[in-house]
A and B are shown apart, each in its own frame.
Chain A
Amino acid sequence: MSEITPEIVAEHGLSADEWKLCLEIMGREPNLNELGIFSVMWSEHCSYKSSKKWLKTLPTEAPWVICGPGENAGIIDIGDNQAIIFKMESHNHPSYIEPYQGAATGIGGILRDVFTMGARPICNLNALRFGEPDHEKTRHLVSGVVEGIGGYGNCVGVPTVAGECEFHKSYNGNNLVNAMAVGLADADNIFYSAAAGVGNPVVYFGSKTGRDGIHGATMASAEFTEDSEEKRPTVQVGDPFTEKLLIEATLELMKTGSIVAIQDMGAAGLTSSSFEMASKGGVGVELELDQVPMREEGMTPYELMLSESQERMLVILKPGMEDVAKAVMDKWDLEFAVIGKLTDTGNMVLKWNGEVVGDLPIDPLALASPEYDRPWVKTERPAEVKAADVESNVGRIDALKTLISHPNMASKRWIWEQYDHMVMGDTVGRPGGDSALVRVHGTNKGVAVTSDCTPRYCYQDPFEGGKQIVAETYRNITAVGAVPMAVTDNLNFGNPERPEIMGQIVGCIEGIGEACRTLNYPIVSGNVSLYNETNGTGILPTPTLGAVGLIQNIDDAASVAFKKEGQAIVVLGETTGWLGASRYLEVLCGREEGAPPPVDLDQELKTGNFVREQILAGVETCHDISDGGLAVALAEMAMAGNIGCSVDIPANVDQAYAWLFGEDQGRYIVTIDADKAGEFVIKAGEAGVVANIIGQTGGSDVVLGGESVSVAELKDLHESWMPTYMAAGE
């Protein structure tokens, strides 16, 4: 074994303090195998060392939460002995270096987190962020990432039903690929990762181990520099066909009653899975590394412990159940090997052909991973932008046309038509709505899912921005008629060692926490991706949230499309014309500035409850108002239903553009039969919700205060940006 030099320590990403702690824990100098294990276990990616202090402040509990953060995914109870298991996770760094495989393996990894706990995956979502459309790499990255997600998700046969895609120059050197998987399990048949039972066999199944992805977790914990291209070999390669077999084999194995604990091998592969299982169970492990199924000749213990080869699982079996488990794997043509046993030593002993090649104390290493209280500075809330101070030379119809065909607002059909969003036969609400709606197989219940983030708000005011994301998911779930139940967070930021970035992290987490507490909407799982910087330039703060809601009867669900002519259009919530940090200000005035709209959480709750009640009572059309304000929301409803609308601008409004395009929060649009609209407005008032009738549906044009554009023209503009943009690169 080579001597450990300071250079080798530095190559493993350990700071001087961490190396000192490592020596203390070991009581001697570690060998290279052991150092490699410290390196990945203490990487930002695996240890959350910069964010842990703040993550602990998030609310994680509610009566319907079966399992919160700390396991592979979060679990909520949806009644009838059914549970939803879900999580969102980033695959940002690998997707930038190798977009197809980086994105594909992101899907594979998040699916494993969900089926590892006993769920059959029922849908996928993804939130994508790329650099400016004109940047030389963007088109290539979009194309590769979308193809990678589709290539993997389509093959495993899990529908990809929702997501988002945004472009901004801050992502030029660091695109974001955040993938969420949602699964359905029997609430009384959930599997956890805590190892137990001294002497029980440690079993490996799935694909063989190769040399791919070694130090992927360490790579994902550093900034990109000019030589990041050289990190291509650390990107893993996915095999969705094997993943499909792995899903079926794992779920079949779970029916045999042979499993004590199970965990997939994700970031930091065998190291992370074995340490986490042992640490949670308070046991020791002895691994015979030469028994690991290997894809290549001449692999070393170091490589076997650090490989991030995909589609692999680690399971602790009940004694004597090896043959039962092996029969399942044989049926599905998957590798199966007993690679060790549990011990009572509290140590991880690694053997290679009988010889001890590593011996590490498990708990000190897993639990004593560093936790930093990094210095931070608060982002001061910027000045408000007064509507009267916004110069607008563009007419309202031209503004609307510009917004709905802008890269960030145009239809993303080009993306989601490359994803099989219908396989499994339960996609009731397809992509393009506020939330996708997936039927719980064999029932009339529906699971509503959405992912959201408004990075430009978070950049201007992390606290209000954090609140707004939670509220936005809450509204998207509510707008289909479902009850928002729980959230998964995928926190993407720049380098936490810079106090202003750390300030963004703290502010966003505090805002998210406050909103989740008020809305009784816990965070049950999540992932943190830091160091999204290139040569010192960070991304906009992007704490993406994925959310899940439940509707008892999908036949009650509402959708965004106008359905009838002559209905009254009612706006719920107050419209003040807030233009700070709005799309209008950014796109039409070229100004990315101003305090973002505040979110009144108590009002959010009142309005949300009212909307849901009304949907269950028969309201069929509902859309929340977000980017681009009222005018864009109306256009989206008209385009979805192929029915026009006409709205009047209230006489007391000074700046029509602010009323049309302002992004005041907490608002929804619903349509009500004209003869019942007055009564509806009274009911809203009684519920403490501001309601205004602003116009009616009908015709083939969208008419805004007397100026009009045809729905057909809007649709053409809205649908053509992305195909045209992508075709220009072919």
Chain B
Amino acid sequence: MKAAVIVFPGSNCDRDMMVGIEHSLGRKPEMVWHKETELPDVDFIAVPGGFSYGDYLRCGAMSAHSPIMREVVKKANQGVRVLGVCNGFQILTEAGLLPGVLMRNAKLRFICKDVHLKVENAETEFTNKYSAGQAIRVPVAHHDGNFFADDETLAALEGNGQVAFRYCDAAGNVTDEANINGSRNNIAGILNEKKNVLGMMPHPERLCDTQLGGTDGKPMFDALVEALS
């Protein structure tokens, strides 16, 4: 796998993403500054979390217009795998690679904690090392993770197997109580129609290391490395 991590001004999970990928890949991905106009030859692009452009205007809105994003969109349309985490997810929706928007959390507060995610679609190159219905533990850290899409879009996402993860309890039950930010249908992560682009609010890269308290995020990067080797 040839991987790149995009770095925007205000990205702050770029190093975490690099380390997360390195755990599975065995070497560092390329770090690409947002002012670049060309991407190296890669088959996996990660758009990391953070506060690109300070979340000013609207989360992800400014970054979506960075020079490098034209290239990311082009590659995504050619089938290159793209993962957007947290602010990266917001950027991918602003760039039009994924539907819906991420609104302010229902309780209007930043939330940083481990949550459980039910794996809804375990047949993608991102998720095939999990089993369908499995509950995995992954941290969230966001202020604007409340996924919203209109009824029609939502029906399409559900109908096409584009919902990758939902917030659930430790036993895998998708409940209102487990829906930490008020997302529609408890959605924590979605895929595009071709399933080569995944956006998710939780941070799989933060739990790839036993010293940090868990490794439930690692199978995602293992799966990508296996698919792209």
Contact = CB atoms under 8 A, between A and B. Distances in A.
Interface stretch (B37-45, B52-60, B165-173): B52-60
Contact of A241 (B53, B139, B141, B213): B53
A419 B13 CA distance: 15
A156 interface: yes
A632 to B, nearest CB: 24
B112 A420 contact: yes
B10 A417 contact: no
Prevailing SS type, chain B contact patch: mixed
Interface stretch (B68-76, B124-132, B154-162, B204-212): B204-212
A124 to B, nearest CB: 13
A332 B139 CA distance: 30
Contacts of B206: 422, 425
A423 B211 contact: no
A421 B112 contact: yes
A552 to B, nearest CB: 14
A428 B12 contact: no
B10 A428 contact: no
Nearest to B56: A241
Contacts of A421: 112
B221 interface: no
Given A155-B51, A241-B51, A418-B110, A428 B212 contact: yes
Given A420-B141, A427-B212, A554-B211, A156 B110 contact: no
Contacts of A157: 12-13, 50-51
Contacts of A419: 110, 112
Nearest to B143: A154
Given A422-B141, A423-B16, A425-B16, A244 B212 contact: no
Interface in A423-464: 423-428, 430, 439
A29 interface: no
B70 to A, nearest CB: 20
Nearest to B203: A422
A373 interface: no
Interface in B6-51: 9-10, 12-13, 15-16, 19-20, 49-51
Nearest to A446: B211
A229 interface: no
B141 A423 contact: yes
B212 A240 contact: no
A425 B112 contact: no
Contacts of A155: 10, 12, 51, 54-55
Interface string A77-108: 00000000000000000000000000000000
Interface residues of B, number: 30
Nearest to A414: B109
B61 interface: no
Nearest to B7: A248
Nearest to A439: B211
A154 B87 CA distance: 12
Contacts of A426: 212
A157 B55 CA distance: 13
A700 to B, nearest CB: 17
B149 interface: no
A150 interface: yes
B109 A418 contact: yes
Interface in A507-563: 554-555
Interface centre among A147, A157, A554 (most CB of B within 10 A): A157
Contacts of A339: none
A441 to B, nearest CB: 8
Contacts of B12: 155-157, 244, 423-424
Given A157-B12, A157-B50, A425-B205, A420 B110 contact: yes
A422 B212 CA distance: 9
Contacts of A264: none
Nearest to B51: A155
A244 B112 contact: no
A239 interface: yes
Nearest to B16: A425
Interface string B78-113: 000000000000000000000000000000011111
Nearest to A160: B112
A417 B140 CA distance: 10
A154 B141 contact: yes
Interface centre among B16, B49, B111, B112 (most CB of A within 10 A): B112
B112 A245 contact: no
A478 to B, nearest CB: 21
B21 to A, nearest CB: 12
Given A155-B10, A420-B141, A422-B139, A244 B16 contact: no
B112 A555 contact: no
Contact of A333 (B9, B111, B205, B211): B9
Contacts of B54: 155, 239-242, 244
A433 to B, nearest CB: 12
A331 to B, nearest CB: 8
Contacts of B113: 417
A417 B143 CA distance: 11
Contacts of B141: 154, 420, 422-423
Nearest to B19: A425
Contacts of A430: 213
A416 B141 CA distance: 11
Contact of A240 (B51, B110, B211): B51
A147 B110 CA distance: 8
A150 B209 CA distance: 25
Interface centre among A241, A332, A422, A430 (most CB of B within 10 A): A422
B145 to A, nearest CB: 13
A401 to B, nearest CB: 25
Nearest to B11: A157
A241 B9 CA distance: 8
Interface string B111-123: 1110000000000
Contacts of B203: 422
Nearest to B54: A241
Nearest to A437: B211
A26 B2 CA distance: 67
Interface in A146-165: 147, 150-151, 154-157
A421 B203 CA distance: 13
B223 to A, nearest CB: 20
Contacts of B205: 425
A244 B139 contact: no
Given A240-B54, A425-B19, A554-B211, A154 B110 contact: yes
Contacts of B213: 428, 430
Interface string A549-590: 000001100000000000000000000000000000000000
A428 B139 CA distance: 14
Interface centre among B111, B139, B205 (most CB of A within 10 A): B139
A499 B115 CA distance: 53
A245 B9 contact: yes
A426 B16 CA distance: 9
Interface string A314-356: 0000000000000000001100000000000000000000000
Contact of A417 (B51, B53, B111, B211): B111
Interface centre among A240, A425, A428 (most CB of B within 10 A): A425
A241 B10 CA distance: 6
A426 B13 CA distance: 12
Contact of A245 (B10, B20, B55): B10
Nearest to B52: A241
29 contacts: A150-B110, A151-B110, A155-B10, A155-B12, A157-B51, A241-B55, A245-B9, A245-B10, A416-B112, A417-B111, A417-B113, A418-B109, A418-B110, A418-B112, A419-B110, A420-B110, A420-B141, A421-B112, A422-B112, A422-B141, A423-B12, A423-B16, A423-B141, A425-B15, A425-B19, A426-B212, A428-B211, A428-B212, A428-B213
Given A418-B109, A425-B15, A425-B19, 9 more contacts: A147-B110, A154-B51, A154-B112, A244-B10, A244-B12, A332-B9, A424-B12, A425-B212, A430-B213
CB-based closest 8 A-B pairs: A157-B12, A241-B54, A425-B16, A155-B51, A420-B141, A418-B110, A420-B112, A150-B110
